[in-house]
Structure 1
């Protein structure tokens, strides 16, 4: 099982807004960690936008499949916004890439309510899965 898992997925650190070549992969899991906010905000949200293109340097548009992010419906801009604790949080978000074009971008934006110049860092990791070709055992 260990060898099959390693051969059937691709995991990498991810920079918000970078183009992902998802060729031969049908799904992904985005792992994210948002640090505790500075500046004493009263509330925080994380907006994740999913866009797609036929080329890595082409024009990216909102993903049309509104159910591409597992557990949240995408709006007209291909985004979902969720409340997050100002004390920091971690999450794993499943993404169904089946109907997406070859290149996708996931852009995360943290926003705050209240406080004095609030800020928080966000760290991402991406695992692509459901390969078109399974490894041979």
Structure 2
């Protein structure tokens, strides 16, 4: 059974494969980016199918999206917290999306129950809006 830090590292490593990434989540697991609401974007997906769709949609516009400079700062069996970066071109605007994320993951029975990520909404707005 995977621990929270193992799940977080696997999530970060598989983000280019939405199906594999979504499979890490519990049936009622949630991927939540609450600060996207300030940009008019629903940043909450619940369940593997919705999470797969959310990630697939992102990758259509940012095909080179991937995490690097990963720092896992808190590691327990059921919780992990990390910071990680992205730098990739946004197809719809032609701009570079340069972002640092902070993510808190809660694990239950070897699956992701909750992954809540925060990000700089100004950097997102600058990259995704023409």
Q: What is the TM-score with the length of structure 1 in the denominator? A: 0.29
**Higher percent of residues as helix:** 2
Rg: which structure is higher? 1
Q: What is the TM-score with the length of structure 2 in the denominator? A: 0.30
